[in-house]
């Protein structure tokens, strides 16, 4: 992140615009909407600027820029579209500590002006840091279409009750729940439909109905984070991450996924890897219970799908037996995500009549698997957490009748930027893991469908997902 996003309060503050063309006029409109007192320095301003000056809505100085024009300014904008003047204004402003933006010249600017979606007092800004202004404008158009036109009145209604709610609900969790009910229910619907009087009455009723109580147990959501690409999060998962007060997450959950969480959410790492457990499963269960009983909204975030080798079922049972409200949000599991990323159809009709998902690790070590059934033909086998046990898996399958020349594909870090796809045969599997230093997370696909990954065998070159 090159630029730190922030908002200037320029109400009744003096701001300078150098330039008098159409670009300058656009910037003047923005400054005036924010309540600034605007001074324009331009030799030949357009009619719009002249008319605003004639009515006293801005000060117009019809001459060239001089450094003294920066005295007492909250910020300055250069819109003269003249290289030498732009550079002179930039240097003078930065020497004086005046924030300056030179239109379409990020190298000369100390701040950039983003694309703006205005639902006053709600303001959404989109910036490309000056790299792609057209892209920022396109994103603004999409967001404009998504946000209700009456979002501002909804924010103002909430503001009018803030101090009352704060006085009644002294605990953060209680206040948060009040406002979630306010924004997610019929009050918000009334405001957005233009029924502000009805919305105010309902807000009063909600305030009067609420009263301080003892701490109620918070809900727990067991959420699948998918295979690692944040674009593959489900909409519900993203929404819950925004509401969570505490996120308890695993080793397979990367920082790109956690970036979707609320900035003030507490994050607790409980990752487990082979021979290295940050917390045991019993400790994780107890932690989730402790957080819920403290009234926290908890998201238990797991890589892939929490109910596919994720032990989500154990956590669900543990919490429900103790009276905690739990919901489960499935995620895209590694088999389907990595298969798709590698171009492997797990149930391609020419090669596989079924697919079986197995784990390379059981509860007490080696998994108790029916190797004879797993070695049958016209069948795709996907092994999770199988890198360390790959030699054992290959030998067991060969011993039970699966041909050593059966195609295999290893997908490491599937769907991520550092994805690798290694293809070979079942007999070569131990050597593939060893020679290519496969460390995981990875899945192993065994069966004729794995031949489809042959084109992706160029090690270190990720197979891109279409977007």
pLDDT band per the 50, 70, 90 thresholds, residue 297: confident
Which tens digit of pLDDT belongs to each residue from 90-121? 999 999 999 999 999 999 999 999 999 999 99
* pLDDT tens digits along 11-52: 999 999 999 999 999 999 999 999 999 999 999 999 999 999
Residue range(s) of every CATH 3.30.950.10 domain in the chain:
335-456
Start and end residues for every CATH 1.10.8 domain found in the chain:
151-209
Annotation marks residue 250 as catalytic: yes
Residue 51 CB contacts under 8 Å (≥ 6 apart), including other chains = none
Of 13, 251, 256, 272, which one is the catalytic site residue?
272
pLDDT at 461: 45
CATH assignment of 335-456, among 3.40.50.300, 3.30.70.141, 2.60.40.1180, 3.30.950.10: 3.30.950.10
pLDDT of 330-355, one tens digit each?
999 999 999 998 889 898 888 888 89
**Which residues in the chain are classed under CATH 3.40.1010.10?**
220-332
Known active-site residue 44: no
* Domain spanning 14-113: CATH superfamily: NAD(P)-binding Rossmann-like Domain (3.40.50.720)
At residue 274, the pLDDT reads: 59
Q: What is the pLDDT of residue 462?
A: 44
* Chain centroid offset of residue 67 CA: 44
Q: Is the pLDDT confidence value at 457 over 70?
A: no
What is the architecture, at CATH level 2, of domain 220-332? 3-Layer(aba) Sandwich (3.40)
Percent of the chain with pLDDT over 70: 93
For the segment 56-75, the average pLDDT, to the nearest whole number, is: 97
**Dist. CA 406–CA 297, nearest whole Å:** 48
Average pLDDT over all residues of the chain: 89
Per-residue pLDDT at 464? 40
In the chain, CATH 3.40.50.720 sits at 14-113
Q: Which of 229, 250, 296, 302 is catalytic?
A: 250
pLDDT digits 0-9 by tens, 385-401: 899 999 999 999 999 99
CATH architecture of 151-209: Orthogonal Bundle (1.10)
């Amino acid at each position: 992140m090159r630029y730190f996003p922030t908002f200037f309060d320029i109400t009744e503050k003096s701001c300078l615009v150098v330039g008098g063309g159409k670009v300058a006029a656009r910037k003047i409109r923005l400054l005036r909407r924010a309540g600034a007192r605007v001074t324009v320095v331009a030799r030949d301003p357009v009619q719009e600027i002249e008319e605003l000056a004639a009515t006293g809505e801005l000060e117009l100085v019809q001459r060239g820029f001089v450094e003294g024009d920066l005295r007492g300014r909250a910020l300055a904008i250069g819109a003269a579209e003249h290289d030498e003047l732009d550079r002179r204004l930039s240097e003078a402003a930065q020497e004086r500590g005046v924030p300056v933006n030179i239109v379409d010249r990020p190298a000369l600017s100390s701040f950039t002006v983003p694309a703006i979606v205005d639902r006053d007092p709600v303001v959404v800004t989109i910036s490309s840091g000056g790299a792609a202004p057209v892209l920022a404008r396109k994103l603004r158009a999409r967001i404009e279409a998504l946000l209700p036109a009456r979002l501002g009145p909804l924010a103002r209604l909430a503001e009018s009750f803030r101090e009352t709610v704060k006085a009644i609900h002294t605990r953060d969790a209680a206040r948060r729940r009040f406002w979630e009910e306010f924004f997610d229910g019929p009050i918000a619907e009334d405001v957005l439909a233009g029924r502000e009087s009805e919305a105010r009455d309902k807000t009063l009723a909600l305030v009067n109905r609420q009263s301080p109580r003892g701490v109620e147990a918070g809900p727990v959501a067991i959420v699948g984070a998918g295979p690692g690409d944040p674009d593959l999060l489900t909409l519900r998962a993203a929404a819950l991450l925004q509401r969570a007060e505490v996120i308890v997450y695993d080793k397979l959950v990367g920082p790109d996924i956690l970036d979707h969480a609320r900035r003030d959410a507490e994050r607790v790492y409980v990752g487990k890897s082979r021979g290295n457990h940050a917390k045991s499963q019993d400790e994780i269960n107890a932690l989730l219970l402790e957080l819920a009983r403290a009234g926290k909204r908890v998201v238990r975030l797991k890589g892939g799908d929490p109910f596919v080798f994720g032990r989500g079922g154990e956590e669900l049972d543990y919490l429900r037996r103790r009276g905690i409200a739990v919901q489960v949000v499935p995620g895209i599991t590694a088999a389907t995500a990595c298969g798709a990323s590698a171009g492997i159809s797990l149930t391609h009709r020419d090669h596989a009549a079924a697919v079986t998902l197995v784990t390379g690790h059981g509860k007490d070590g080696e998994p108790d698997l029916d190797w004879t059934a797993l070695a049958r033909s016209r069948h795709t086998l996907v092994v999770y957490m199988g890198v360390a046990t790959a030699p054992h898996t290959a030998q067991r399958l060969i011993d039970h009748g699966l041909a050593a020349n059966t195609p295999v594909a290893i997908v490491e870090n599937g769907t991520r930027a550092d994805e690798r796809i290694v293809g070979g045969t079942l007999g070569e599997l131990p050597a593939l893991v060893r020679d290519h230093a496969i460390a995981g997370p990875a899945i192993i696909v065994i069966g004729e469908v794995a031949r489809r990954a042959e084109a992706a065998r160029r090690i270190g070159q990720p197979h891109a997902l279409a977007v």
